[in-house]
A and B are shown apart, each in its own frame.
Chain A
Amino acid sequence: MRHLGVAATWFVAACAASLAAITLARGDLPTVTVTSPLPILDLAFGVGVLAVPFLFLLALLALAVGIWSLERGTGRDAALVGVFAGTMLLVLCAQSVAAFWIAWEAMSLVSAILVATHFERRIVRRATLTYLAVAQAGALCIIAALVLLALHAGSSSFAAIAANARNLPSGVRDAAFALALAGFGSKAGFVPLHFWLPRAHPVAPANASAMLSGAMLKVAVYGLAFVVLQLAGPPQLLWGIVVAGIGAASALIGVLYAIVDHDLKRLLAYHSVENVGIIAMGLGVAFMMIPLGKPAIAALGLVGALFHTINHGVFKGLLFLGAGTVSDREGTVDLERLGGLWGSLVWTAPFFLIGCAAISALPPFNGFISEWTTFQALVAGLPASPPGVQFTLVGTVAALALTSGLAAACFAKVFGVAFLGKARRPGQKRERETLGPAAASLGLLATACFVLGILPSLAFVPLGRVAGAMVAAPLVLPNAPLLPVLLVTLPIVGASLSWLLSRRRGIRATRTWTCGSPVTPLAQYSATAFSKPIRTIFAFFLVPERRRIVELGGSPWFPQRIIYTTRSRYIIDEVARGFTALTLGIARRSRRLQSGSLRVYLLYAVAALIATMVFVR
């Protein structure tokens, strides 16, 4: 079962990689159509240029996840992950409304089965239900948008819809955009429709979480970009402003919730909300610049978004798989109970550190390059734009800068608390990790983070070609750190020199200075304490509630025990829950219509008949 699943995953990876490579070399692949009696149900499959970066990401991630599944996780998970990867490949290749719909629903269903793996826990069942509800509501919006466009084009094939895009009335165009934004946005995790994501992603097995966060959210991003740029395009100025604004809100809200969370997997899920927000910023600037007649800047923004899509898949896959290894070995992903993993997880820890640096946009890793590109596009869009666009762009730049700073704070917390210092739980001596498939898959992804960071032109050249095909303009990169090698050579030389110097001169180990009190593992700074200043500064949004119980012994000055807990209120979740309660209430009230009496039902039928006659006349 396990080997079959891994083989299926690798097969999907190979298909995705070869399709992407051929499409990049030759342009759009010819479409294969399976005709049906009803033309609206024709199934068409092919590969467009826009799908290429997403196919590459899927290939890379499926390869790494397959390697990881060889050692860890169950055989059932490995097999389901293989199927899941296959459904994502189908979505990316779909070229007609029906094909897209079937592939999309298959992707949602298989991922829901993966989320429901540990269904014996109540919280998992609830998460699965929330996920399915949001996924189905989103799918409904997407189908509505696609059918609307297909009706106007008179054909269900995407090629015909795209060819008709320029003749659309502006009302239809805007309606299609709004429906697509709601549908794909709910799948991608845009605020305020993100609330299912931090529930569903962490409860899935690690290899499934990696695929969900790393690849499935990106398939939704692909859908949005595809609808806006091709099916309903060209984009309008307002669409860009909306998408950039949603991106800024998602990035900030995602990272703030991540900072106050101490469950490693849920925290990573909130960072997915953040990074999807950063991708949306790049898309937003591209959408804004096309109607403003600045295609070169639009291409830059699109390249930033597509590059960040790939990069987020790579480092989030790395972090989720690493969290899976931690969870397998320690039995918990609660940061407050971990510590000192550096000493035992000798392979995972350095790879995980690279992932932390990459997601915090630190040079010389890939996250830095794609966020830098997004920054460049946002700043380049400023001169000679209308004031509304300028306000959006400046606000987005500020949000992006704040987000990257807060993300660095969050990952300093994660790595410093869980991997460095001393183990917080007393226990048996943990055995040293050996280099197995799990560690090797992390190594593969960490290498990708480093290589894409040091040699960004590996990605810039193909992505430039994709963006060029989308906006009809060549990619013009600003001339700053095209050579990140130059940027980090001096710091790396310095670091090696100071390491050598200390090796040569020798270091005397002493006890940590704690003003004379004993050094105990529990006195180390905790994750809750580390995030305290940010929790206090952003209290207006996070609304932290705290509970403190002090058990005094004999003396009021030296309490025996202090129990301190704090948790944030999730305002958006509360609103969502309120909406659910309202809907359920209306449903319960309307149940009275079903009285069970035949006479009342006949009355309904007559009333409906009369109403129809009145309205149709």
Chain B
Amino acid sequence: MTVLQIAVICAAAPLLQGGMKSLRAKLAGRPGPSITQPYREMAKLLKKETLLAEEMSPLATLAPGLALGIAVVFAAAIQFWGNPLNNFVDIIALAMLLALGRFVLVLVALDSRSAFAGMAASREMTFAALVEPALILGVLGGAGFAGIAPLLSAAAIIIVILVETARVPIDNQETHYELTMIHEGLVLEYSGPLLAILQYAAQIRQLCFLLLAALLLPGSGWLVHLIWVPLLAIGITLTETFFAKVRLFEVPQLLTAALIFSIMGLLLRNGALPL
């Protein structure tokens, strides 16, 4: 059962990325790529030669596989009945596992001696630290409970998703300007198969995060929850189209909002707030 779940999530992840990219292009009035483009891109990258900055430590070749393995653990941890995460890994262990992948990737970026990668690394670690409380408290607050509390928690998780999947108010996946990159800047030195693995891991993580938020949103039965996934993807794409990136030092305000939502969700759930 878990193997089937992992297989479906891994197979569908690039499709979600392709769909969002294609929709964003259409909304901007461009014809845009087909929704199967990420698969072709991956096949292309896998065939290419690997280039890497000289004198890098072995961490550089370990990091992509590590990220993919962690993404697969995330896919295995999603549970469609009861709690959104199964007993195999809870949200605290999951958050720390995701932090492991990020930590190694940031070390590789600093190892590459590029100031752009260093800048991206610094921003990535800062925002990751700031969203960690909202992620943990949000999932704890929303898990398996009806009423208004899960809505607050889901709002927190959606803001977390914008950060974790490098979406517009915080980051921009389509930028080609090194100074504004966060996630792209981190993997600037990667190419060929290693880059393909990293991109695939990011796509799996993105789908898993959307599933996690969908399972916190209202509905009964896992099919109803699944309908939320495309709705959330469309919502994120609309945000990307109609809003500009906020200034770097205004992002913490957004993250503080997420933290407050998640704290209120958890307190409401346990009856400490009279509502």
Contacts and interface: CB of A to CB of B under 8 A. Distances in A.
Interface of A: 342-343, 357, 360-363, 368, 371-372, 375-376, 379, 382-383, 385, 387, 390-391, 394-395, 397-399, 401-402, 404-406, 408-409, 411-413, 415-417, 420-422, 478-481, 486-488, 490-499, 501-503, 505-515, 519, 521, 523-525, 529-534, 536-537
B70 to A, nearest CB: 5
B267 A498 contact: no
Given A375-B92, A486-B88, A497-B65, A519 B103 contact: no
B129 to A, nearest CB: 3
A192 B235 CA distance: 46
B146 to A, nearest CB: 16
Given A494-B66, A495-B66, A512-B112, 7 more contacts: A405-B131, A481-B93, A495-B69, A510-B54, A523-B115, A524-B113, A530-B121
A416 B107 contact: yes
Contacts, number: 259
A537 B125 CA distance: 13
Contacts of A399: 133
A383 B141 CA distance: 12
Contact of A420 (B50, B111, B249, B259): B111
A4 B117 CA distance: 50
A481 B88 CA distance: 6
A532 B249 CA distance: 11
Interface stretch (B7-15, B56-64, B216-224): B56-64
B254 interface: no
Given A409-B126, A416-B106, A420-B110, A398 B137 contact: yes
Given A382-B270, A537-B126, A510 B263 contact: no
B66 A491 contact: yes
Contacts of A422: 55, 113
B100 A512 contact: no
Interface string B86-114: 01111011011101111100110111111
Contact of A412 (B58, B110, B130, B263): B110
B140 interface: yes
Task: Please name the 5 residue pairs, one residue from A and one from B, whose CB atoms are nearest each other, closest first.
Answer: A525-B118, A498-B65, A405-B129, A416-B110, A494-B69
Contact of B90 (A409, A481, A512): A481
Contact of A409 (B87, B109, B129, B193): B129
B3 interface: no
B128 interface: yes
Interface string B38-62: 0000000000011111110111011
Nearest to A402: B133
Contacts of A524: 110, 113, 115, 118
B275 interface: no
7 contacts: A395-B263, A405-B99, A405-B133, A409-B128, A480-B93, A519-B113, A533-B248
A537 B247 CA distance: 13
A506 B52 CA distance: 10
Contacts of A512: 53-54, 112-114, 189
B270 A383 contact: yes
B252 interface: yes
Given A412-B125, A513-B189, A401 B133 contact: yes
A285 B121 CA distance: 35
Contact of A529 (B54, B119, B131, B188): B119
Contact of B100 (A480, A486, A491, A501): A491
A372 B100 CA distance: 14
B240 interface: no
A537 B252 contact: yes
B73 A487 contact: yes
Task: Say which size band chain B's interface belongs to.
Answer: 35 or more
B69 A492 contact: yes
Interface in B231-275: 248-249, 252, 259, 263, 266-267, 270, 272-273
Given A421-B113, A495-B63, A390 B99 contact: no
Name the residue in B65, B117, B119, B189 with the highest tally of chain A Cβ atoms < 10 Å from its Cβ: B65
A409 B125 contact: yes
Contacts of A497: 65
A233 B241 CA distance: 61
B208 interface: no
Name the residue in A343, A357, A415, A495 with the highest tally of chain B Cβ atoms < 10 Å from its Cβ: A495
Nearest to B68: A494
B136 interface: yes
A144 to B, nearest CB: 37
A452 to B, nearest CB: 16
Given A481-B90, A495-B66, A521-B113, A362 B99 contact: yes
Contact of A505 (B50, B106, B107, B123): B50
Given A390-B270, A405-B130, A412 B115 contact: no
A493 B69 contact: yes
A483 to B, nearest CB: 9
A512 B125 CA distance: 22
A480 B90 contact: yes
A391 B266 CA distance: 10
A509 B57 CA distance: 12
B190 to A, nearest CB: 11
A451 B190 CA distance: 33
Contacts of A405: 99, 125, 128-133
B64 A498 contact: yes
A501 to B, nearest CB: 6
B126 A387 contact: no
B111 A513 contact: no
B229 interface: no
B99 A507 contact: no
B64 to A, nearest CB: 5
B193 A495 contact: no
A514 B87 contact: no
A402 B87 contact: no
A70 to B, nearest CB: 29
B5 interface: no
Contact of B103 (A343, A360, A493): A360
A394 B137 contact: yes
Given A379-B140, A382-B266, A398-B137, A372 B96 contact: yes
A391 B122 contact: no
B93 A372 contact: yes
A398 B248 contact: no
A525 B69 contact: no
A537 B270 contact: no
A543 B112 CA distance: 32
B228 interface: no
Contacts of B49: 505-506, 508
A537 B68 CA distance: 31
B162 interface: no
B72 interface: yes
B93 A490 contact: no
Contacts of B252: 537
A402 B194 CA distance: 31
